Every structure is written in structure tokens, then in C-alpha cells.
Amino acid sequence: MSDTKGKINKMLIILSKSTLENVYACFVLANGARMEGIEAEIFCTFFGLDAINKKKLDHLHTATVGNPALNMPTMLGGLPGMEALASSMMKKEMEKIDMPDVHEFLDILSASGVKLWACKLAMDMFHLKKEDLYDDIDGVLTVGEFYGRGEGEGTHMLFI
């Protein structure tokens, strides 16, 4: 710490769920790090795997139940089609501010040098193979291996 004066050199971000808002928070933080010359790696675990699952990444939703920030009564949020409606509204707003969709964002992250990892345990649990994942994934890691990536001064870890 004394040498780097608290400067951030690397961000390790754990993505544990794949609602649109969580995935975008994770991706924006990772991209923002790279744009500042900071290294960034994303470890997708449990439902966070959906964000790199080829079959699912284009169909992520925002949660309308149990999401108080939407200011929507819980009963209403549970109605059929409500989640799809909220998700499509959110995607429209994102497009307005030039936010890429999930697939394009993964392309940007990968080209920017963000390392994308899948959690081995979660892969086993959901019976996923590497072929099921986004093509430019960097690999499948155990928790221990992911921690190993955090060596060096100025590494910070985020759980999303």
C-alpha cells in the first residue's frame, strides 16, 4: 500500500446474478477500469453465468418482483409479461445513451483486455460446458485459482 499510495491496479469483479442491472453494473465497472488503464477480470458464478451463457445472454431481464427501486407494487410486478415489459423499456433507455447490448458489451470487454472467467463449481452444477459459453471466454476457474489472479499490490475485489 505504501508504494502504490492506494492506487488501484487491478479490479477483480465477481458476478453472481444476471439481472440486466447487475450485469450492466459489472460490465460498466470493468470497462471503466480498463479505460483508466486499470486491469479488470470478471468471475461469473452461479446465476452470473447467464451473462456469458450463449443461450441466455441475449435474453436477460430486470427483476420486477423484489426490486423496490422500480417503485412497482409487488403484485403488479408478478403479472405475466411485466418483466418483459420492464426489460424492454430498460433496453430502450440504454440504447439512447449508447449502451451496447450484452453480446456487444462482451465483445468490447474482451477486445479491451478484460479477462472473463467462469466458475467451475457453478458450471458443474448447471451442467454447462465451455462450448455453451461466449466464445472469447478466457477459461474456467476454481475459486482458489481466481484468488490467485489477485496477487500484487493495488488489487481490489467486488461482489455483484
Partner 1 sequence: MEKTIADRTVTVNEEGFMTDAAQWCKEIGEALALEEGICMVDRHWVVVEYLRDQDAQGVPMSIRKIKNSGVVDIKEIYQLFPKGPLKVASKVAGLKKPASCL
Strand partners, 156: 11
The site for partner 1, by CB under 8 A, has a size of 17
| Among candidate residues 146, 36, 44, the one with its CA nearest the CA of residue 102 | 44
Q: Which residues within the stretch 97-116 sit at the binding site for partner 1 (CB under 8 A)?
A: 97-100, 104, 107-108, 111-113
Question: What is the grid cell recorded at 27?
Answer: 460490465
Burial category of 77 from C-beta neighbours within 10 Å (exposed 0-12, middle 13-18, buried 19 and up):
middle
Contact string (CB under 8 A) for partner 1, positions 36-75, x = contact: xx--------------------------------------
Find the radius of gyration of the CA atoms of the chain: 17
Output 77 or 100, the one with its CB closest to partner 1.
Answer: 100
Output 3 or 98, the one with its CB closest to partner 1.
Answer: 98
Output 113 or 148, the one with its CB closest to partner 1.
Answer: 113
E strands of 24-147, at which residues?
39-44, 115-119, 139-141
Residue 131 in contact with partner 1, rule: CB under 8 A = no
Residue 77 in contact with partner 1, rule: CB under 8 A = no
Stretch that binds partner 1, among 5-13, 28-36, 118-126, 134-142 (CB under 8 A): 28-36
| Among candidate residues 105, 124, 140, 95, the one with its CA nearest the CA of residue 18 | 105
Output 14 or 30, the one with its CB closest to partner 1.
Answer: 30
Residue 32 in contact with partner 1, rule: CB under 8 A = yes
77-84 own/partner pairs: CB under 8 Å, 24+ apart: none
Interface residue list for partner 1 (CB under 8 A) = 28, 31-32, 34-37, 97-100, 104, 107-108, 111-113
